[in-house]
Amino acid sequence: MKIALINPPFLFPSRNEIVFSQCIGLRSISSCLKMNGKHEVHFVDALMHGFSKIRRYYNGYMVGSDVDGIVSLIPPETELVGISAPFSQIAPIVHQIAERVKEKLPDAKVVMGGVYPSTQPELAKASCADYIVVGEGEQAMVGISANLKPTEIRGVYSKDEKPGRGFAPAEMVKNLNMLPFPDYSLPDMERYFTLSQRMKRGRTASLVTSRGCPFSCEFCSINSVYGRKYRPRAASGVLEEIKLLVDRYSIQALEIEDDNFTLLKGRTAEILEGIVRLNEKGAGLSWSTPNGVRIDTLDESIIKLIKRSNCTSLTLALEHGDQEVLKIMNKKLNLDRAYEIMKLLVKHEIPQIGVFVIVGYPGETEARYRESLRYLKKVRGLGNSIRVIVNFAQPYPGTKLTARCREEGIIKDKDLGNFLIKRELMSTGHIVPITTPDFDAAEVKKRKEEILNIFAPKWKVVVRRLLPMGAIQCLREMKKLI
């Protein structure tokens, strides 16, 4: 079958936050299709093709080829088109793509999948896509490409079917070791490795070594796509893929995007020891975890290995410095234990330790915020290698947080999260969508500033105090021009 897989243009709140994506999900589907049939898979990655195309989009920026450009890249005889929608806020874009694809190829089957249809299936079903897939796409797309009746495939829903069947997710890949590596045979693979060098650590590859997370933090969307069963790949398979990346593509840096990379100590150790061996043979490989790891899965022996295996940046999912708020978030993390772990990470000189912190979380009273600030000051005291990444709480569709906010009347706007109506981007860095009797938007921004100032070099604190926010923006632009 002639198949086209589309990665849409992405939306970013500001130019400084534009990052590249290696489309691991869509490339995994591509490999599975090629492995399960004589399919010709054409990859249309709008973000990659148009990475220099940046234009205003409501309160943010769209990056990537426009819809005309995308449709023009789809071969005319294509029979099956898969459209990826990795974020809820991308809904209007993927609806437009589906509409235009159906105009160009009325007989082709158009299928939409990813986080958006998995968290808002009702909405996605209203698009021009013939089918949506809720959850993982590999088995669903292989079934559709084998001409199985789509609505008889678990997790596949036709746009015309009557509501009532609910939206049970697609069959998940039980044993990830049975999956082929994401498709590395794409014609422009070279660009993926070079465009991704956001952290300037050389040729970079993204890697996912497990799926699913047994925890269910109130604010997180991933359970709707990957479920709560933790499905790790075997360390041997992960190391085989890493070796391929080093030998065939001279990869120098890995960005591990798992939701819970270090959950299983034995497997983590095996993978890191494998990286140590590769580096002993001259691979010069470094790695980082931009999506964060769970702090209480770490201990001193693993931390020593993290150091020996050349981790350049370890991001920690702390989320808050007050135990009560962590309880409300259902994070199940003990702050004293977390502090001891961060102390060990500094002791073993992990070069960069990023700490995710959410501010403006429903339940974050003034007292709990002060307590969090006290805790973060203690963490700051551990050393300069610790930096903080402060995000505003975001009510992403399909999360327990959004449901609670609606129940408690914190969110009154019924269309919040429906990006077909509300096109304004949700951005963890800029928009305060949730306010409560404990804080308004100005207060949340002040709290973010206060937390950032704890970890910022003194001169930055002074500049921040002296100059109104606007000027900082032009300062950043000026610095870029110099």
Which residue ranges make up the site for ligand B12 (CB under 6 A)? 10-12, 19, 21, 23-26, 28-29, 82-84, 86-89, 111, 113-115, 119, 133, 136-138, 140-141, 208, 220-222, 225-226, 257, 259, 291, 396-397, 427-428
Q: Which lies closer to ligand B12 via its Cβ, residue 46 or residue 235?
A: 46
Tell me the C-alpha distance between 246 and 236, whole Å: 15
Written as one letter, the residue type at 139 is Q
8 A C-beta contact, residue 127 and residue 102 = no
* Closer CB to ligand B12, 119 or 310, in the complex: 119
Considering the complex, state which of residue 24 and residue 234 has its C-beta at the smaller distance from ligand B12.
24
Q: Is 74 helix (H, G, I), strand (E, B) or coil?
A: coil
**Cβ proximity to ligand B12, 223 vs 309, nearer residue:** 223
**CB of residue 191 to ligand B12, shortest distance in Å:** 15
In whole angstroms, what is the distance from residue 20 CA to residue 43 CA?
A: 16
Q: What angle is formed at CA 365 by the lines to CA 416 and CA 221, rounded to 5 degrees?
A: 40
What's the min distance (Å) between Cβ of 12 and ligand B12? Answer: 5
Q: In what order do the strands lie in the sheet with 60-63?
A: 10-12, 60-63, 54-57
Question: Min. distance of Cβ 141 from ligand B12 in angstroms?
Answer: 5
Q: Which is nearer to ligand B12, 44 or 311 (CB)?
A: 44
The DSSP-derived string for 226-287 is H-SS-EEPPHHHHHHHHHHHHHHH---EEEE--SSTTSSHHHHHHHHHHHHHHHHTT---EE
- CB atoms near residue 165 (< 10 Å): 9
- Residue 276 CB, nearest distance to ligand B12 (Å)? 25
Answer for the pair 448, 390: CB distance below 8 angstroms, yes or no: yes
Looking at beta carbons only, is 26 or 285 nearer to ligand B12?
A: 26
Q: How many residues does the structure list for the chain?
A: 482
The answer for 284, left when phi > 0, alpha when psi is -120 to 50, beta otherwise, is left
Q: Closest separation between CB of residue 27 and ligand B12, Å?
A: 9
C-alpha 310/C-alpha 319 separation (Å) is 25
Q: Per DSSP, what are the bridge partners of residue 56?
A: 61
Cβ neighbours of residue 377 closer than 8 Å, sequence gap 6 or more: 454
Nearer Cβ to ligand B12 (65/84): 84
Nearer to ligand B12, 12 or 193 (CB): 12
Report the alpha-carbon distance of residue 212 to residue 62 in Å, rounded. Answer: 29
In the complex, the smallest distance separating the C-beta of residue 170 from ligand B12, rounded to whole angstroms, is 8
CA angle 439, 445, 451 (to 5 degrees): 105
The least CB distance from residue 377 to ligand B12, in Å, is 25
DSSP element (H, E) containing 188: none
To ligand B12, the closest distance from the beta carbon of 291 in angstroms equals 4
Smallest distance from ligand B12 to CB 62, Å? 9
Closer CB to ligand B12, residue 17 or residue 366?
Answer: 17
